[in-house]
Each structure stands twice: as C-alpha cells, then as structure tokens.
A = this chain, B = another copy of it.
C-alpha cells in the first residue's frame, strides 16, 4: 500500500479552504415542522448567520483577497437574498446544500430527486447559475444523491471522511472529486448547543474551541495535505470567535505558501492531476445491498 501525495500548484505546501454551511434557521423548521416557525430563540440563533456573521466574514475575506465556498440550502437562498447577493459580489462560490437542510437518507428516491432539483431551481433563480459542488445536510449523502450529482454534472462532493487528501469517487456513470471533511475541523462539536435538534455539546471558549482547527492545519501544512474548515456562520462567525479566525488568517496569509482557494478551484486542480496517478480512487457503489449479518 502506498501513501498518496499531491503536488499543489505554484509550489504551495498545502491546499486550504474555509467552507461555511449557511443553514440559518432552516434546522428548526425541519426539526419542528409544526411550531418551529414560532420558536424565536432557535430562529434568532440561526439568523445570526445571514444577518450578522456574513457581513463580518465577507469583510475579512475582502481584506485578505480570499474567495471561498459557501453551502446554502435553497430555502435560505430565497429567504436571505441580500446576504446571497453580498456573497456573490465577493466572488465566492455557493454550493448545493439541500433545499431546507432535509436529511437525504430520510427520503425515498422520488422525494430525493424532488428536493434536489427544487434546490437547483432555487440556485438558478437566485444566483443565476447551477452549482457544481455539493455538501449533504448532516453529511448524509447516499448513492442516489451521488447519482443525481453525476446526472446534473456536478464536479465535486464534500461530505465524506475517507481521506485527508482529495480523492475520486468513480461510478459506472461518471465521477466526482471528493473534497473530504472531518469532525476535527467541523465547528459543530466545539460550539453547537441545540437541544431542539438533540445536539448538545459543552460549548468551548473561543480559543479552546478553535485551537484544534489550527493544530489540524499545521499537520496538513507539514505533510502537504488539504485542510478544510466546515463551519457555520452562527457558530464560528460569532464576534469573539471570528476575531481569532481573522488573526489566524493574517498569519497564514503571511506564509505565502498556502493555497487558499474555493472548493471548485481545488476540485478542478485535482481533476487535472488524476492522470498523474497521485490521486486515490474509490469505486462506488461501495455495496450493492445490505451487508448480510447472517
């Protein structure tokens, strides 16, 4: 077994991306369909994202000349058009993240297609273009979603944890670049405290919560890997946390050998490297049916 190694463009030591899943208040509507619209605390907690955190985040990106990726449910595209406009004006990417953060694995094939394509329509209507990247709500991609992504000519998925380095998901009908995520750089375990969705973590202080992400970055930097933050505006976009992110980013920018890019650029680069044999390939589907337990 060999250990794959990717040469990054322009001699960069590693690739890096901050991705924000801007779910806003979609979560409470899905979790409590009957009265979520009237639960003002979780609504306000989520709306902190589009209303307060996003301007702050976009200002930081502007300051450092960064273009990054956002994953936004279709319903949120429609609900927060001013925020979406600001994201697009900054030159950032907006990826597919379901319609209203519905869990794909909770649906049958027809319903999955319905939500998936309804979301595409939202993208077209609000942003004027089809997304080419996808992140599944709660990471819950399954084979039917992979097939939809390929059918709709997506370039990449970013929902799996099968590697540190990007790899290829190859299927009989086509392939995707996988830009893998990891709980170690997801801000949900550090900061989320959300009883209504059954997710209760012992909220960390800003530096204690962010330190793991910086440690993870140094490891990818040293090994020539890929670092990705999977963050949420209402969590890591909070004032005290984001100021620390900004200070960290300033240090990273000074290094000059980190390739910070939106996922669509990293995906395209990975695609260009598949001929070199340095990119690992997973054949999908992993299984054609339930693993027999007797």
Contacts and interface: CB of A to CB of B under 8 A. Distances in A.
Interface stretch (A121-129, A218-226, A251-259): A218-226
A219 B239 contact: yes
Complex copy number for this chain = 4
Contact of A238 (B3, B43, B182, B207): B182
Interface string A171-200: 000000000101110100111010000011
Contacts of A280: 51
A143 to B, nearest CB: 6
A33 B45 CA distance: 31
Contact of A215 (B39, B193, B206): B206
Given A1-B83, A190-B202, A161 B36 contact: no
Interface stretch (A15-23, A64-72, A262-270, A285-293): A285-293
A141 interface: yes
B238 A39 contact: no
Contact of A105 (B38, B190, B282): B38
Interface in A1-44: 1-3, 25, 29-30, 33-41, 43-44
B39 A142 contact: yes
Interface in A138-154: 139-144, 146
A188 to B, nearest CB: 8
Given A2-B55, A220-B239, A37 B203 contact: no
Contacts of A230: none
A100 interface: yes
A43 B1 contact: no
7 interchain residue pairs of minimum CB distance: A205-B212, A219-B240, A44-B162, A37-B287, A44-B160, A41-B139, A45-B161
